[in-house]
Structure 1
Amino acid sequence: MAQTGRGGGRRRTPPGSAKGGAKRPAPGKSGQPHRPRPTPAPAPAPEAPRTFRLGAIPGATPGKWIDRWRERLPHVELVYVPLDVASQREAILSGTVDAALIRLPIDKTDLHVIRLYDEESVVVTSADSSLTAAEELDPSDLAGEVLIVPRDHVLDPLDLPGTQPPRFVPPETTADAIATVAAGVGFLVVPLSLARLHHRKDLESIPLRGAPTSTVALAWHADRTTADVDTFVGIVRGRTAHSSR
């Protein structure tokens, strides 16, 4: 806008000036007034190192779940803690483990328990036994045979009429009973996973019709449902890292 100066001439208003002499903000490169850049958000603090202790009874196979844990939470060490069925509940209540793969039945007081799967049971006998002629056995096929029941037996009481008790003190563990059977004395009935765990070339495992099953479950203390426990439950149930609960 031109203004009249002395002598009748015209004086141009300097660029950037408005009426009344007020100056406009200097434009930026885009022609817009300069604005300060936002302050970047601070990086999240790294998580403190910690461990997740997973207990498991003999025969349980948590390998695929452990692999997924290590892929998803590489900063949280998973410690595998072997358990026996007799002490599985105490290990959870005492905090020895954060969660555990256990065998049912179990006293569920103060526990959260999720049933995972049922295992079929098999007859384990010497490879030289006449029982190996069958691909599957009926309880009646075992009449007259010596039934060995170790003290750590995990199945319901077996109803096998006609079988004979051993003439010696029952073995303390399934491993001891397996060794006895491998020597050609008697047979035992165990969940398939235990038969595989104690597999030997001098033994055979044969399905038994009507045998009780064994249920494997995941359990943890009801008052200690941590974020890590929730994560492991999600992995067992097949949830991905981005699944909603």
Structure 2
Amino acid sequence: MSDFDVTAADSIDLDRLRRFVAVAEELHFARAAKALRIPRQALSATVIELEEELGTRVFVPGASPTQLTDDGTALLARARDLIRVREQADREQKPDAPASLRVGFVPGVTVSKWARIWGERLPDHPLEVVGVTQGEQESVLREGRVDLCFVRLPIDRTATNAITLWQETPVAVVQKDDALSLLETISPADLATETIQDSADLDQAVDTLALVAAVGGAAIMPQSIARLHHRRDLVYRPISDTEFTEIALAWPAGTDSDLLEEFVGIVRGRSANSSRGGVAEPEQRAAAPARKSAAKKPAAKKPAPKKPVARGRKPARRGR
């Protein structure tokens, strides 16, 4: 039985504990490093230093997939408590801070347009934009790490509100010299003889595309992901007669707020002067054609009078 004293974590810097928690929750170093936006090597070094400082192993050595030891499980619970207490204390120390909104987005979604509009309309309320992995799109909402999140459907709708925004074109990614690269659009029949590489985990799209570049075959994924990880040695072509993926804006049910409604309105294209209910704007658009049809047409110009022809004169004869 381990004699590990979990209270030793109380003296560890919270940033290091947050890195440990990220790995412990993902049980995957690469995904955790991407979520933290730090190199994987730096994350591995932090865990090694943490284990040396605590004098115990927090992850099972050599385990695949990554697994927590019993001491690691105890440390995870303690680290979460310490982080929660610190965050609560930070919030209480800043009571006058302006209300802000945290918006997450999965890979392939670009939010710069809406962030710009938000900054123009609500400059006194900071908007924090957070990139999240595909695998954590629901957990960030459930755990309150973001207020809203651009997600890729499907998601659990039982405790989540969501509005579907657009469909993503599915594409097949192949080597540049593959025969399929000569086609403008690929059909499922064209892929029948191809080796289809597993691309279900979009968080590992970089590795999937590297596999296609190395051994060939095709990877099927949303066009936005193919663009995000574009490689010069690969091309992607749209696939006909196949299912589309959908992007939606989601937030936890029962967490509506003025700022949340403002952001939803911005994404829906509501103007700054329209009501939050979104009724005024469609009515204005519907009334526009009526005004146009009621406008008076300019009076038609009268034809110019014909010049009178002189009578009694014979027309001059042309010379022969």
Q: TM-score, normalised by structure 1?
A: 0.70
Distance 1:174 1:219 in 2: 23
Distance 1:53 1:213 in 2: 28
Distance 1:127 1:56 in 2: 30
Q: Report the RMSD for the aligned CA atoms in angstroms.
A: 1.5
**Counterpart secondary structure, 1:244:** coil
1:242 aligns with 2:273: yes
Which of 100, 115, 132 in structure 2 is aligned with 1:83? 132
Could you list the per-position Cα deviations for residues 43-76 of structure 1 after superposition, in whole angstroms to 9, with x for gaps in the alignment? Answer: xxxx842321110011011211111011111111
What amino acid is the match of 1:103?
A: R
Could you list the per-position Cα deviations for residues 143-175 of structure 1 after superposition, in whole angstroms to 9, with x for gaps in the alignment? Answer: 22110113515xxxxxxxxxxxxxxxxxx7111
Distance 1:151 1:135, change over 3 A: closer
Between 69-78 and 93-102, report the one with greater CA deviation. 69-78
* Partner residue, 2:279: none
Greater helix proportion: 2
* Partner residue, 1:127: 176
* Partner residue, 1:176: 207
1:208 aligns with 2:254: no
Aligned partners of 2:169 and 2:223 also within 8 Å: yes
Give the unaligned 5+ runs of structure 1.
Answer: 1-46, 154-171
**Counterpart secondary structure, 2:264:** helix
Distance 1:150 1:194 in 2: 11
How far has the Cα of 1:101 moved from its partner? Answer: 0.2
Could you list the per-position Cα deviations for residues 174-212 of structure 1 after superposition, in whole angstroms to 9, with x for gaps in the alignment? Answer: 111011112242111111111111111111010111121
How far has the Cα of 1:122 moved from its partner? Answer: 0.6
What amino acid is the match of 1:145?
A: E
Distance 2:177 2:188 in 1: 19
Which of 140, 154, 163 in structure 2 is aligned with 1:105? 154
Give the unaligned 5+ runs of structure 2.
Answer: 1-95, 277-320
Which of 44, 48, 57 in structure 1 is aligned with 2:106? 57
* Partner residue, 1:118: 167
Which of 219, 240, 244 in structure 2 is aligned with 1:188? 219
Among the aligned pairs, what percent are the same residue? 41
Distance 2:233 2:124 in 1: 44
**Counterpart secondary structure, 2:129:** strand
How far has the Cα of 1:124 moved from its partner? Answer: 0.6
Max Rg structure: 1
Distance 2:256 2:99 in 1: 16
Aligned partners of 2:174 and 2:218 also within 8 Å: yes
Distance 2:107 2:200 in 1: 15
Aligned partners of 1:129 and 1:184 also within 8 Å: no
* Partner residue, 2:191: 142
Runs of 4+ in 1 over 3 A off after TM superposition: none
What amino acid is the match of 2:221?
A: V
What amino acid is the match of 1:55?
A: G
**Number of equivalent positions:** 181
Greater strand proportion: 1
**Counterpart secondary structure, 1:86:** helix
* Partner residue, 1:166: none
* Partner residue, 2:259: 228
**Counterpart secondary structure, 1:55:** strand
Superposition pairs of residues 11-22 of structure 1, within 5 angstroms: none
